């Protein structure tokens, strides 16, 4: 199936490894031209060269001003923008009592404001596209909160609310806005949360998900065929979500 992504111009953040990288590689595999970023200059350069990205730069999207500069750099290299994939490292673990107010503020900038700023900076360019797509990487925790992850549970839910509202605001521009909500995906971030073998044993499918499986779905949501899918949160969880919605 031709996803209609050949020559499409995409920006993917936090793409030096894990889910962000898998999304970038999936888009490249469909013929898109992809600009990538992450906070680590050496890591993003190595990733960009390895995957054959159109361009890359280091950026900390939790800092005001950097999302605007990043979008500008991507547009300069790509000549425009059709696709924005918003990804950022998860905020730290903790309960309400163990999480400081400073951590709440830092998490808000990392998870919520990075998404707000990236989308806001990208909108003028996406509006000039005839296949504008926004995909935000969240977590299954927006539907099924995960113990000891109060920051992620709270802040990713805020991103989901923004995305749902934005999908209505941009429907007239034919720009789709969707969220990908992974659960136990084999990444470095998951390793920091516990033993991977134990997690795999508890998973309904008896295994962890792979980042490439999230990337494949990201590519589909950016495709021509997904032009009537918007405002959705799509789980990539191997059946771990217990709810019916």
Confidence check: pLDDT of 245 > 80 = no
Mean pLDDT of 229-244: 89
Match 């508890």 to its residue by tokens: 202
Strand segments, DSSP code E, in 174-232 are 176-182
Tens of pLDDT, residues 111-165: 999 999 999 999 999 999 999 999 999 999 999 999 999 999 999 999 999 999 9
Confidence check: pLDDT of 49 > 90 = yes
Distances (CA, A) of 115 to 64, 66, 112: 11, 12, 5
Which stretches of 64-113 are DSSP H helices? 66-78, 101-107
Q: Which domains does the chain have, with CATH numbers?
A: 9-236 (3.40.50.720)
66 phi, psi to nearest 5 deg: -70, -40
Global pTM value: 0.95
Of the chain, the percentage scoring pLDDT greater than 90 comes to 83
For helices 114-126 and 150-170, the axis angle rounded to 10 degrees is 20
Tens of pLDDT, residues 67-126: 999 999 999 999 999 999 999 988 889 999 999 999 999 999 999 999 999 999 999 999
Look over the chain and give the mean of its residue pLDDT values, rounded to a whole number: 94
Confidence check: pLDDT of 192 > 80 = no
Mean pLDDT of 157-175: 98
Mean pLDDT of 176-189: 90
pLDDT value for 32: 98
Mean pLDDT of 185-205: 82
CB burial class (10 A; 0-12, 13-18, 19+) of residue 88?
Answer: buried
Which of 27-31, 36-40, 145-149, 192-196 shows the lowest mean pLDDT across its residues? 192-196
């Amino acid at each position: 199936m031709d996803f209609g992504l050949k020559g499409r111009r995409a920006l993917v953040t936090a793409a030096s490894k894990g889910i962000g990288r898998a999304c970038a590689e999936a888009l490249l595999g469909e013929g898109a031209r992809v600009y990538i970023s992450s906070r680590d200059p050496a890591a993003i350069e190595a990733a960009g060269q390895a995957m054959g990205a159109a361009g890359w730069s280091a950026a900390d999207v939790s800092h005001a001003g950097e999302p605007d500069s990043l979008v500008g750099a991507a547009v300069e290299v790509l000549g425009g923008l059709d696709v924005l994939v918003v990804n950022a490292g998860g905020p730290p673990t903790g309960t309400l009592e163990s999480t400081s107010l400073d951590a709440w503020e830092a998490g808000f900038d990392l998870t919520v404001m990075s998404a707000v700023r990236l989308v806001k900076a990208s909108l003028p360019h996406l509006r000039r596209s005839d296949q504008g797509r926004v995909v935000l990487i969240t977590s299954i925790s927006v539907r099924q909160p995960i113990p000891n992850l109060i920051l992620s549970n709270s802040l990713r839910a805020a991103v989901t609310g923004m995305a749902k509202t934005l999908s209505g605001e941009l429907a007239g521009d034919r720009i789709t806005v969707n969220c990908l909500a992974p659960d136990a995906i084999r990444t470095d971030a998951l390793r920091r949360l516990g033993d991977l073998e134990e997690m795999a044993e508890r998973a309904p499918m008896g295994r962890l998900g792979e980042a490439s499986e999230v990337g494949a779905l990201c590519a589909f949501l950016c495709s021509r065929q997904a032009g009537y899918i918007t405002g959705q949160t799509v789980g990539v969880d191997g059946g771990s979500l217990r709810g019916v919605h």
